Amino acid sequence: MKKIILYILTVLSLCGCSDFLTTEDLTQKNSSNFPQTPDDIYSALMAAYAAVGEISNPYWQHFMILAEIMSDDRFGGGSTVDRMILAVNEYKKSQDNMYSGAWSKYYTGIHRAHFVLEHIENVAWEDELQKNKIMAHAYFIRAYAYFDLCRLFGTVPLVLSTLDGSLPKASADELYARIFSDLKQAIQLLPPQKILEIPDGERSLATKWAAEALLARAYLFYSGYYKKESITLADGNVLTKQDVIHYIDDCIANSGHGLISDFRNLWPYALSNQEYGYAKNNHLDWIGEDGDNIETVFAWKFSPLGGNFTNRVNLYFGIKGQDQIPFGKGWGFGTVNPQLYEQWPDNDPRKRASIYNVDDPEEGVTGFIWNGENNQQETGFWGKKYMPVNIRDINGNIVNYSCVLYGATTNFQQNNTQDIVVIRLADVLLMGAELGSSHAQEYLDKVRERVGLPSVSVTLENIKLERRYELAFEAIRYYDLLRWGDAEKEINKIQNVPARTLNVLTPVTVKFRPETGGFLPIPENEILLSNGVLEQNPGWTGHEAQY
């Protein structure tokens, strides 16, 4: 029911805001007559959330898919018609406007956040707290969108008004100063409620704790990639590493977030504990996405009602050409690099909790079909965390769990509803350890104790391994490699790795292109629209960039 309510609110917000920037018809909502009430401004805010959170067409350009495919943990996969995803995996482009969807999505969200901030004073507010919360959410969304843009494309135009035209790329310092400033504003304006005290209807939105955690993630990338430990913010104040540690410690100590007892119960496959041998034999029981799940700090939620509000990330990572219990069919992207499975210690329960090995008898799954539908780069390893999950309905039919829990359609392309969890407390703990909090050893120990592993010293190498194993397949690994300066070294280890295309052994070799800095090309249509004000990123103009 919560998913349905969220979906309806989002659709209403889009209906209310989709035309107000362009129409002259005063019978419709536009900037001359909208917003007028707190409900209007809330509707505009929801439109900003929707723009950034939805999985818009082309669906494969979602941040999680791109981040995963570029990491050393995954190959492109898919079928032999999916040329573009192999280009992503090899840091090349299959066409000049390959990433227009991702670029447009984030700038749409930024534009809508600006609209909220520019019009919030036009509303008569009886409740200052409500006004402050809406402002905080708009700052959070703007920071979130710019941070994703900066990780995807490097430096981008810093648009700060709905009236701004074509702008050149800002510097990294200017962009991150704005990101940190916006997140600090969100932290100051959002109430310090513990997670279980926040009303259910607001837990799908950002919290003070989510803003603190996102600020730490952005700081780690900025300070690591650009080699700077402090930055002067938009208001002239300086953000230091110690400031960031304070935010992380505050989030951990005061948010009410915690680690759930069993790592495996974070993932929906634990729901399929009647027929799925691995879940049944380990007595798993999915914690779900609301209520008792205190580990999720921020997540994007999806609806069973179809369209762009379903989780198509899961669809793309599903096994192509076949349905099983518990893993459902999809487009076969992101096959797992066998090197990860081989390197991962067997005594770490997160290994089998995170990777489906089709040849592992402990899975209790039989009948896997190689080359189910013109598959490429199949390895026999799949990431378990984000895949379609099947159970049986009351008639014994194999269906996605959302069909049983939420009454979703049986159309496999539109019935995935799993949250995309952006930040978990486990990540916050590991960020605190890496930043050098006075509680660093305690933070690292908590993550390892949860999976029955002994304490290890707080060194960068130990933290690197812990982040890889704890956070695998959560769109984190690639940007960790970039900020640590390890991308070229680790990715170039993918040499003649066994995989199958059309069920024929076709080894995979990947070569990182350091000339790109690890960033994607700016869409050529954006450069043309700017009349040359916007310049292409390094490494994307020669023949070596073409797939």
Residue spans of the domains in the chain: they are: 263-294+302-418
Structure confidence at residue 30 (pLDDT): 60
168 prior amide bond cis, ω within 30: no
Spatial separation of the C-alpha atoms in residues 316 and 332, rounded to whole Å: 6
- Residues of the chain short of pLDDT 70, as ranges, are 1-33
Antiparallel, parallel or unpaired: β 329-330 and 319-320: parallel
Quote the distance between the C-alpha of residue 444 and its chain's center: 23
Spatial separation of the C-alpha atoms in residues 4 and 302, rounded to whole Å: 9
Give 297's contacts (C-beta < 8 A, 6+ positions apart): 207, 209, 210, 213, 251, 255, 257, 422, 423, 424, 425, 427, 428
326 prior amide bond cis, ω within 30: yes
SS3 for 505? strand
326 contacts 269 by C-beta, under 8 angstroms: yes
Spatial separation of the C-alpha atoms in residues 325 and 535, rounded to whole Å: 49
As to burial, measured by CB atoms within 10 angstroms (0-12 exposed, 13-18 middle, 19+ buried), residue 94 is: middle
Q: Which residue has the tokens 């990431």?
A: 383
Spatial separation of the C-alpha atoms in residues 254 and 443, rounded to whole Å: 15
Q: How crowded is the C-beta side of 174, counted as CA atoms within 13 Å?
A: 11
Give the C-alpha distances (Å, rounded to integers) separating 501 from 88, 181, 383, 431, 494.
17, 48, 19, 38, 17
CA angle 313, 59, 520 (to 5 degrees): 100
Query: Identity (one letter) of the amino acid at 166?
Result: S
Spatial separation of the C-alpha atoms in residues 52 and 77, rounded to whole Å: 26
266 contacts 206 by C-beta, under 8 angstroms: no
Spatial separation of the C-alpha atoms in residues 333 and 335, rounded to whole Å: 6
501, β-bridge pairs: 504
Query: Identity (one letter) of the amino acid at 241?
Result: K
* pTM: predicted TM-score of the whole model, two decimal places: 0.94
Quote the distance between the C-alpha of residue 58 and its chain's center: 16
Q: H/E element holding 88? A: helix 83-89
331 contacts 343 by C-beta, under 8 angstroms: no
Quote the distance between the C-alpha of residue 169 and its chain's center: 24
Burial 274-308 (b: 16+ CB within 10 A, else e): ebbbbbeebebebbebeeebbbbbbbbbbbbbeeb
238, β-bridge pairs: 232
Structure confidence at residue 200 (pLDDT): 80
SS3 for 103? helix
Spatial separation of the C-alpha atoms in residues 375 and 269, rounded to whole Å: 23
Structure confidence at residue 19 (pLDDT): 33
Give 36's contacts (C-beta < 8 A, 6+ positions apart): 122, 123
SS3 for 172? helix
SS3 for 398? strand
